[in-house]
A = this chain, B = another copy of it.
Amino acid sequence: MADFTHFDEAGNAVMVDVSDKAETERVAVAKGRVLMQPETAALIAGHGVKKGDVLAVAQLAGIMGAKRTPDLIPLCHPLALTKVTVDLMLGDDAVEITATCKLKGRTGVEMEALTAVSVAALTVYDMCKAVDRGMRITDVRVVSKSGGKSGTWTAD
């Protein structure tokens, strides 16, 4: 197993040098889920057909959150994302969130996709917390990435 890349030999945290990496098209997809009471999911569903849509607010927050990744994650490089989409699907007792980020650049965009999912999930929590304080954000993970030296990777 390789060692961490975010520390130098003296143990200092570093924003690693990506200057010599190739500018390739990089895509990452992340997913996550907000578990909730069925009544909460029903309430979201009820609002979804008119204005006041929890999922639309969370979706926008996720897109904006992706852009804040380098402000939030200490050792992330600032990146000029070329595409961000966030989708939310309402189930019986959960909201499933998928985010896709894309870049022509020198480093991957997994963190941007994961941040988009997390911020969208936090926004769902915020908007529903008055009716369901026990919600849980869970299974936030990268499901696939492509581009760069390590090529394409897909979670099992």
User: Which residues of A approach B to under 8 Å, CB–CB?
Assistant: 1-8, 10-19, 25, 32, 39-40, 43, 47, 50-54, 56-57, 59-61, 63-68, 70-87, 102-106, 110-111, 114-115, 118-119, 121-123, 125-131, 133-142, 145, 153, 155-156
Looking at chain A's contact residues, is the secondary structure mostly helix, strand, loop, or mixed? mixed
Given A39-B1, A131-B3: A63 touches B13 (CB 8 Å cut-off): yes
Instruction: Note all chain B residues with C-beta closer than 8 A to A134.
Output: 141-142, 155-156
- Count of identical protomers in the assembly: 6
Instruction: Note all chain B residues with C-beta closer than 8 A to A115.
Output: 122
Contact A4–B57 (Cβ < 8 Å) = no
Ordered by A's residue number, 16 sampled pairs between the chains whose C-beta atoms are within 8 Å are: A1-B39, A1-B40, A4-B128, A13-B56, A15-B81, A61-B72, A67-B71, A73-B122, A74-B123, A75-B127, A78-B81, A111-B125, A118-B122, A133-B155, A134-B155, A136-B141
